[in-house]
A and B are shown apart, each in its own frame.
Chain A
Amino acid sequence: MTGLFDTKQKNQQPGTFNPIALLPIPKSSIKWLALSLVVAIGWHAPRTPIWATIASFIMGSIAFSLLIKEKSLPPMTVKLVLAGACVIGIILQYQSFLGRDQGIMTLILFSSLKMMELQTRRDFMILVFLCYFLVFGNFLFEQSLIDLVFTLLAAILITATLIRLNTPQPETGKVKISYVMKFTLRIFLYTLPFTLLLFFLFPRSTSPLWNFKQKELGLGQSGFNDVMQPGNFSELAQSTLPAFQVEFPNHDMPPQRYLYFRGAILLFTDGQKFYSGNPSSQFAREEPMTGPGILQNIIIVPHNQRWLFALDCPVVFPPFSQVSFGNIFRSFAPIRSYFQYTVLSRPDYTEKTELTQSMKVITLRYPRYLTKIMELGQEWRSQSSSDTEIVKMAENYFKSSGFIYTLRPGLMDERNPFEDFLFIHRRGFCEHYAGGFALLMRAAGIPARVVIGYQGGQYNSVGGYLQVRQADAHAWTEVWLQDQGWIRVDPTAWVSPERVEYSLEVSESLLSMGMLPGSNKEGAIQNALNESIFEKIWKFIKFNWDNINYKWDVWIMSYDRFKQRDFLKSLGFGNVKRTELFLTVIIIVLLFFFIFSYFLKRHAMRTDPLLGRYFEFCSRLEKRGIKRMRWEGPVHFEQRAVLALPKKANEIKLFTGLFVKLRYGGEPITKTRLKELKRLSRKL
């Protein structure tokens, strides 16, 4: 094996034994390292500024070609200048050094810089560890199953790099890739039980070790906002990211039109947007309602907010949530990891509560500059005798005035979007309808509020759960009717019943066909619902894949303190304290480690069968008081043993004779001969 670098000048202090710095670096392991770096950095490329990726690629490939050609690496000044340029680049990009994105970018740039000073094994291994850390850093952004698969493959590659570094070239031929990979895979197989043990038993906490600012984390995910402004839902409607998944353990899948998942109530408006304000506890929690209950197990995708969602209208809440007015509940801490909660809802609720005075004032308030809305609302009020009738009139208004439900409503007048929508444009998405309707109701003197959440979702028949995506985000309205309480009214359903009856997909395909209300909708819906064979296959693959992801979320992603407790309970260890659990983990892992170590050692110590027989022979003689000296050869020992044990002289002589013949005479060692040896030594 040729060493790449001259390590002669790297002498060490006398008395220290630290040989690793002196070992050579095989040239082809540099190629493995380069590949590992490309994989580790490449996976980050989509979210890293493009210049950083290109810069690190250029620096890395220059260093790589110099290393391969065994030319001298760039001098210190060049490296310092490059490092300074990287620091300036990072500061210009992010203005600060703290934070997840900056951290990853720093690692990317400095790993390629480090490549330029790859001289000893220590440098090599530091680079390998940087690769590990970059791959690990990937989980701060994405946590899907695909990412885990990628990470595993990357970890295998990086570990193979380390193994390649340490594998010497045999006298004949090269180090085979297949050999390195096989060995790596075997090592990974052995790590599996330890990894699983640690994963399931390592005590989980609910609170972080220290608090960090959300901005630093950069976890602000697209999704829900507690301000409803015309335009922000149609943005969401284009996002296919999952929001949450729901299982109905004691109930069939409810019909699509019931699938209203409540998220937040928006009471306040300034005429341009609706917002929740500060949902203080001054409003009493509304009374529990009657009606059949539907239990839901919901797994929520982390969104770094406190939102929790449940089918309209939740009545029994998970224990760690904070309930506020309008049957809305929030998690105590921002949701930073996947987790599962159970909630009970009553879809056919009737609410028997009084509207408090303060709530009434708030839910009737609207800006007075909305004169057209005020006129229309007051007109309806004067024409009708009851609130129910007013709602009916509004329904007629929306159905008959040529309103169009569309993802691309165009821009409304910024200062007065709702009047622009209601009286001029008449093209809108759910937030336009919900907001416009709520303002009209308030103008007509009916308390109204906007509810935002999700509606619909896709039922996965393979896994038996409902997949709700960001695109299913929806806004609707609740009005207060005397003797009925808060009643859900969804004006979008008047304009586009398909949106609520089917799914967004169907209504989207209608929209894309340019269907106008009143034309032949039935045929179009049938068309949209009919699937070709390819669509069916596609759906089959997609459902299965989604289901795997879902199970992954259920079993692994949302594994937390509570699930850990349940898991331990199912194993028969209820009420384990954290410290106890911690000690148990250590003990179990150590135990496992020692058992494993024993077997591995035994495997490594598998000796020569011939020597094994001889050792057995010696130990039998030792029991009879004849101990072989360490320096004693078999023939010498034989002579001594024969003298000390003349009765067994024949066996001893036969055994030793055969042993010497096999061991030193070059005769083939066969099974029958080994058996013969065993038989002879047994006779002692």
Chain B
Amino acid sequence: MIISNCRKIVGGIGEGEMLVTTQPINFLAMVDAKKGTISDPLHELYGKSLKGSILILPYAIGSSVGAYVIYSLKEYGNAPSAVVCSNADITTASGCALANIPVLNLPHVSVISQLEHGRKARVNADVGTITVEPWQ
């Protein structure tokens, strides 16, 4: 499956298993950058590792310092390979821009709901596509 016409927020290419959530993330309060995991027991991705994933989330919430947590994830080698937001926000965009993590905006919730947790995908933010395996 190829999803095209996504909007580029930060360019680049990334590949990994999709980590999908419909709950927003407060990166400062809910992410442990050193471990690379979601640390909030109330979040549906609790305990899951972000490392090398294609992180698919609605948007970031709360602290403006979340951008540094995204940067720290990268520096610790725990960053997602790419990020897809349904409503890209300033915290995600700025953190990923500094950390060179590709970001796409995909506002269509019906398309996002087809994306399966754990399945491999390739994000090409430069041309605005997400390719989901099986590759064609």
Q: Do A and B come from one complex?
A: no
State the A residues within 8 Å of B (CB): none
